[in-house]
Structure 1
Amino acid sequence: MNYQRELEFARRVAVAAGDNAKHIRASGITAETKPDASPVTIADKENERLIREAIEREFPDDGILGEEGSSKAGSSSRRWIIDPIDGTRDFVRGNRFWCVLIAIEEADESLAGVAHFPMLDETYWAARGSGSYLNQERLYVSAIDSIDACVFSPDGLHLIQARPYLPRVTELMQRSWAVRSYGGALDACLLAAGKAEIWFEPKVEVWDLAALKLIIEEAGGAFFALDGSRRIDRGTAIGCAPGIATYVREAFGIPPA
């Protein structure tokens, strides 16, 4: 297995952060609103501190970037990217679909990534060149090759950034076999597990995508932003089964790869 040490570390720390967040929530939480209108809690901040300190102990030369402000250049060419609680709205409301996202990248490509869902007892993980897994089960994307047979998971449609894409999204929803949206990270992981065929995000950050892109691609899926690139810093994301990638690109007006 490639990047075994990094994977074992990321899974261990993600589980510890998930347990930490559950403990904090049991004691009662309130949410503040950040400048971008997203919520943040003491659990987000404490989880990022826990993960950052663990990285600094075990991989002191690596850089760090976290949603809640962690930023360290590092002396190596590698960087850890952290979303301490992805789905804070779900966390605040007591829904089960929030997770901890941890990835390590080099040269703009994720090497290893973990998405741990504490309330579901599920950990999705992947390493570059070694496949994607749910706990210990190997994952593969769906073989479906037609839109009318696919499950479409669009997220963030309430955001103003989604407005330019709503006509295309609505048309694709009406052509799909089913529409299911549980939350960005879980929808991406369900795509990797072959339980959905299209995942769309109109507004995302690098910490939302660093682990998820790798999990999707290592399961055999296609990942691209609305500009057609595979980059995670373009602010949008689409994941899909390879058999419908051409149709999805056409639906969103993206030039062929």
Structure 2
Amino acid sequence: MTGYTDDLRLAHMMADSADDLTMRRFKAVDLRVDTKPDLTPVSDADQAVEDAIRGTLRRARPRDAVIGEETGRTSGYGSRCWVVDPIDGTKNYVRGVPVWATLIALMEHGRVVVGVVSAPALGRRWWAARDGGAWTGRSLTKASRCTVSSVSRLSDASFSYSSFGGWEERGRLAEFIDLSRAVWRTRAYGDFWSHVMVAEGAVDISAEPELSAWDMAALTVIVEEAGGVWTDLSGAPDVDGGSLVCANPLLHPEVLKRLGD
């Protein structure tokens, strides 16, 4: 039990609702997909999930601010802010690939204190509350604890990423390839999945060069509560840093030295 138990339960309840919405529209023949100004896709399911979560928060936490990928920020009155990515992995979602998730986080005084990642097409969910550990399972009552790996050498490490393109645009492709050659194994599991598998200890390193706060917030507290380390490419633990590097504490310094700005 932590001081955020009620908030964690609320986040699970919102994730349950999101799962119902996303699974009903997944692979739907009439799924509507538009292109946003940044040329990324958005489906009618993305908007429906964010609208549903915002509606719940207006009723249950009316003083809290909300930041969502589709609608931006709404004003709150206190130090708390919910950060929502209705569907992380929309490109997978619209193509029928089951690797996507709803990400829900709560920040207080600028620090992430609750995170839930729900991937219903995979039948998996991950969550954490500050000082309460990181967990995975189908529900709060059917869960196992997440712990990062104890792999200590890059030559024994598994590294997961999303794509080459972002590293090239960031001007870090050579560094990315250097790290890929130094590790035991690379796989492009991508998006949220790379990072929660670091929390589970199934993967040792994950990194993405271009992210927004809603892509990262829920993941950071899960990795941290599992005993891992996360930063942006500059080495700062900043959800607005625009990038994310996760690893166990034995590997993170060396990974950052090779990849970092």
Deviation at 1:163, TM superposition (A): 4.4
Aligned mates of 2:167, 2:160 — CA distance in 1: 18
Mapping of residues 120-199 of structure 1, within 5 Å: 120-135=122-137, 136-159=143-166, 162-199=169-206
Deviation at 1:27, TM superposition (A): 5.0
In the alignment, is the contact (CA less than 8 A) between 1:85 and 1:99 conserved in 2?
yes
Aligned mates of 1:118, 1:242 — CA distance in 2: 30
Amino acid at match of 2:215: D
Q: Which residue of 2 aligns with 1:234?
A: 241
In the alignment, is the contact (CA less than 8 A) between 1:113 and 1:126 conserved in 2?
yes
1:84 to 83, 86, 90: 86
| Structure 1 pair 36–230 and aligned structure 2 pair: CA distance change class (3 A) | same
Task: Check if 1:32 corresponds to 2:58.
Answer: no
1:65 to 53, 64, 67: 67
Task: Check if 1:9 corresponds to 2:16.
Answer: no
* Number of positions where the alignment pairs a residue of Structure 1 with one of Structure 2: 254
| Structure 1 pair 101–253 and aligned structure 2 pair: CA distance change class (3 A) | closer
Amino acid at match of 1:182: Y
Q: Which runs of 4+ in 1 moved over 6 A?
A: none
Amino acid at match of 1:19: D
Deviation at 1:7, TM superposition (A): 0.6
SS of the aligned residue for 1:242 comes to coil
Q: Which residue of 2 aligns with 1:19?
A: 20
| Structure 1 pair 232–98 and aligned structure 2 pair: CA distance change class (3 A) | same
In the alignment, is the contact (CA less than 8 A) between 2:114 and 2:218 conserved in 1?
yes
SS of the aligned residue for 1:243 comes to coil
1:56 to 50, 58, 65: 58
Amino acid at match of 2:20: D
For normalisation by structure 1, the TM-score amounts to 0.95
| Structure 1 pair 57–253 and aligned structure 2 pair: CA distance change class (3 A) | closer
1:201 to 208, 217, 226: 208
For normalisation by structure 2, the TM-score amounts to 0.94
SS of the aligned residue for 1:164 comes to coil
Deviation at 1:160, TM superposition (A): 6.8
| Structure 1 pair 87–144 and aligned structure 2 pair: CA distance change class (3 A) | same
Deviation at 1:16, TM superposition (A): 1.1
SS of the aligned residue for 1:159 comes to helix
Aligned mates of 1:59, 1:114 — CA distance in 2: 17
Deviation at 1:168, TM superposition (A): 0.7
1:217 to 208, 216, 224: 224
Q: Which residue of 1 aligns with 2:251?
A: 244
Deviation at 1:161, TM superposition (A): 6.0
Identity percentage of aligned residues: 34
Q: Which runs of 5+ in 1 are unaligned?
A: none
Amino acid at match of 2:89: G
Aligned mates of 2:170, 2:241 — CA distance in 1: 17
